[in-house]
C-alpha cells in the first residue's frame, strides 16, 4: 500500500468519525434529497448541512444534482463497494432509525408535491378546456386501422383530458387516470362533449392497486404527458408506468427538458426543473424499457403554449416480451 493510499484511508476514517456525517450519508442513501430537506430531517441549519455535505462530496461519497437554484444529493454510485463506507452507512442508518429520521422522509416526499396538488385543484377552475385542433379526433379515427395494437391505452395524469382527443378515436378502450378529482371533472366534461363512450375515468395514483386492477393484463400504450416533473419520486413513477404495459406495449413520456426558470417552476408548483435526455434514457432502461429513446420536440410545435419556452422531451420505449437476460 502506498503512502498516498494510506493517507487517503486515514482521511476517510477521519471523515466518517463524525456522527452527523453518518446520519447525512444514511439519509442520502435512502433517498435523493435537497439540502433544505436534509436540514429539516437533521434538525440543523442549512449552512452546517451544506458544509458537511461538501466534505462528503469532495471525498467522492455523495453525488450532487442541480435543479435551478436547488441542490440535491444522493449516495455516489459504487460508494457502497467500500467496506468502510458500507459499515458507516449501517451505523448512520441505525442512528436515524433510533431517532425517527427515516420515517420522516415520507413526510418530506409528501411535502414535495403538496403544492402541485393544490395547483391543479385551483387550475381546474379555469373556464376553457385546452384542446388540440378541432378536427384532430376525426382525422385520427380515419387513421385508426393503421394502429396495429389498439386494445387499451392509458392516459396517466390526464389533467383536463387533452390527450383523450388523440387516444379515444384510436383505441378500443382508454383509461384516463389522475390524482386530482377537480381535474378529472374537467376531463369528464371533455368526454361528455365529444361523446367518448370508450373512456374510463379513474381518480388514483399511478402506483395504486385500483389502477393495476383496471388495466388488467396491461396496456398497449401508456402516455404520461408532463407528469414526471410533478412527481416526488419521478423514477419510481417511471417504473410503475412501465409495469402497466403489456409485454410488447409501448410507453410515451412527454416532459420538460432541464431548465433554470425558477419563476416558472414556482408558478406551476413543479417539483423538478425538467430532466436531461440522458437521465430519462438511463432511468427508462433501468426500469426495464427496451429501445428507450428521447427526442427533443421542435419549439415551433409549442408556439402559443404557456410552457413552450421551456423545451419538451419525448421518451418512448417498449416493455420486453420476456425478461432480458
Both 165 and 30 in one domain: the answer is no
Instruction: Show the cell assigned to 274.
Output: 425538467
d(CA 218, CA 225): 19
Q: Give the CATH number for residue 273.
A: 3.40.50.150
- The predicted-structure confidence for 219-230, as pLDDT tens digits, reads as follows 999 999 999 999
- Residues of the domain holding 78: 3-112
Residue 117 lies in a domain: no
Residue 323 lies in a domain: no
Q: Does the pLDDT of residue 21 top 80, yes or no? A: yes
Of 241, 246, 225, 322, residue with least CA distance to 284: 241
- Total residue count of the chain as it appears in this document: 325
Q: How confident is the model at residue 128 (pLDDT cuts 50, 70, 90)?
A: low
Residue 125 lies in a domain: no
**What pLDDT is recorded for position 4?**
41
pTM confidence score: 0.78
Both 302 and 182 in one domain: the answer is yes
Both 108 and 167 in one domain: the answer is no
Both 101 and 154 in one domain: the answer is no
Q: How many domains, the chain?
A: 2
Q: Does the pLDDT of residue 121 top 90, yes or no? A: no
In this structure, which long-range contacts are made by residues 72-81, counting pairs with CB atoms below 8 Å and at least 24 apart in sequence? 72/32, 72/33, 72/34, 72/35, 73/28, 73/32, 73/33, 73/35, 73/38, 74/28, 74/29, 74/31, 74/32, 74/33, 75/25, 75/28, 75/29, 80/29
Q: Give the CATH number for residue 50.
A: 1.10.10.10
Q: Are 206 and 241 in contact (CB under 8 A)?
A: yes
Both 101 and 151 in one domain: the answer is no
Both 201 and 72 in one domain: the answer is no
Q: Does the pLDDT of residue 317 top 80, yes or no? A: yes
Burial class (CB in 10 A: 0-12, 13-18, 19+), 206: buried
Both 105 and 152 in one domain: the answer is no
Amino acid at each position: 500500500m502506498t503512502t498516498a493510499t494510506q493517507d487517503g484511508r486515514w482521511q476517510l476514517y477521519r471523515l466518517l468519525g463524525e456522527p452527523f456525517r453518518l446520519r447525512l450519508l444514511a439519509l442520502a442513501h435512502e433517498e435523493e434529497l435537497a439540502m433544505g430537506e436534509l436540514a429539516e430531517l437533521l434538525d440543523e441549519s442549512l449552512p452546517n448541512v451544506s458544509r458537511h455535505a461538501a466534505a462528503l462530496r469532495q471525498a467522492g461519497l455523495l453525488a450532487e444534482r442541480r435543479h435551478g437554484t436547488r441542490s440535491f444529493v444522493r449516495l455516489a454510485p459504487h460508494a457502497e463497494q467500500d467496506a468502510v463506507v458500507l459499515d458507516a452507512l449501517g451505523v448512520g442508518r441505525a442512528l436515524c432509525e433510533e431517532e425517527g429520521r427515516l420515517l420522516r422522509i415520507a413526510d418530506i416526499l409528501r411535502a414535495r408535491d403538496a403544492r402541485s396538488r393544490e395547483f391543479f385543484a385551483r387550475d381546474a377552475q379555469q373556464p376553457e378546456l385546452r384542446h388540440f385542433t378541432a378536427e384532430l379526433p376525426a382525422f385520427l379515427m380515419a387513421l385508426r386501422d393503421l394502429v396495429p395494437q389498439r386494445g387499451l391505452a392509458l392516459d396517466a395524469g390526464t389533467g383536463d383530458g387533452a390527450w383523450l382527443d388523440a387516444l379515444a378515436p384510436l383505441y378500443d378502450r382508454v383509461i384516463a387516470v389522475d390524482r386530482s378529482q377537480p381535474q378529472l371533472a374537467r376531463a369528464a366534461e371533455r368526454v361528455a362533449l365529444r361523446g367518448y363512450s370508450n373512456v374510463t375515468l379513474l381518480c388514483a395514483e399511478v402506483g395504486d392497486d385500483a389502477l393495476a386492477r383496471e388495466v388488467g393484463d396491461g396496456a398497449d400504450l401508456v402516455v404520461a404527458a408532463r407528469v414526471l416533473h410533478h412527481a416526488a419520486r419521478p423514477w419510481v413513477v417511471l417504473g410503475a408506468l412501465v409495469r402497466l404495459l403489456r409485454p410488447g406495449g409501448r410507453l410515451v413520456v412527454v416532459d420538460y427538458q432541464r431548465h433554470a426558470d425558477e419563476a416558472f417552476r414556482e408558478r406551476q408548483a413543479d417539483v423538478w426543473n425538467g430532466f436531461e435526455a440522458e437521465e430519462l434514457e438511463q432511468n427508462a432502461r433501468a426500469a426495464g424499457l427496451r429501445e428507450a429513446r428521447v427526442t427533443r420536440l421542435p419549439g415551433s410545435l409549442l408556439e402559443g403554449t404557456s410552457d413552450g419556452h421551456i423545451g419538451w422531451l419525448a421518451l418512448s420505449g417498449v416493455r420486453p416480451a420476456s425478461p432480458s437476460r
